[in-house]
Structure 1
């Protein structure tokens, strides 16, 4: 009985640490979006970083129960419109447009590399 309790406690600690790490990454991506000089295109309309972050945050709250990783956050909150099915696009001066998923995954990889 004690062994089972110890395993449960260990699993809980790892789960809490995993959640905290994921939340840190999500917070970083939200800040990254809100401070970008690039524009975020949703359904043909471009938005600045603050507007994009507010929309992504709203979707994050709506899909919170489905999000278990930072990649899930990107998938559910910042990839495409659930209504139209159109992918969100990023427009940065002097660069070709890119899908928001690729843009955010690249930033996530850079952020993780900086934490090593």
Structure 2
């Protein structure tokens, strides 16, 4: 039987099928990625609330629970705008500095030197990932 070249309709149908399979795989991967990001960010909030540390925002010190409430509001805003697709984005856009003054947030924990909150959150994220 001689070789028959597939028709354009067959080629188009095959291309559409391959595209939809790839898109479905990407959607599943994206969904898993969103779940991972959400789990990591929630673990950061939990670590914050259990830390016993104080957090400085624009020169004023706040308890960990007050800082958590503030960062939860910022995170909600970022979620609405799709600006925190990763835990690193959350840290950079919400947990590192004031959105109003651009001053870095600080953390002081009992028996430890004061440091920028970005460093603190990155260390907590590393612990979370290492535990998984």
Residue 117 of structure 2 is matched in structure 1 by 100
Alpha-carbon distance, 1:19 to partner: 0.4
Aligned length: 115
Describe the superposition over 1:33-78 as per-residue Cα deviations: whole angstroms up to 9, x where unpaired.
1221010111111111110000001011112221111000011111
SS across alignment from 1:41:
strand
Q: Which moved more, 1:98-107 or 1:30-39?
A: 30-39
State the distance in 1 between where 2:47 and 2:63 align.
12
1:39 and 1:59 mapped to 2: Cα distance? 18
List aligned pairs for 1:1-116, cutoff 5 A: 1-64=16-79, 65-115=82-132
| SS of equivalent residue, structure 1 residue 66 | coil
The structure with the largest alpha-carbon Rg is 2
Q: CA RMSD in A?
A: 0.8
For structure 2, list consecutive stretches of 5 or more residues without a partner in the other structure: 1-15
Deviations, residues 69-94 of structure 1 (Å, cap 9, x unaligned): 10000111110011111100001111
- Normalised by the length of structure 1, the TM-score is 0.95
Tell me, in whole angstroms, the C-alpha distance in 2 between the residues paired with 1:22 and 1:85: 25
Q: Give the unaligned 5+ runs of structure 1.
A: none
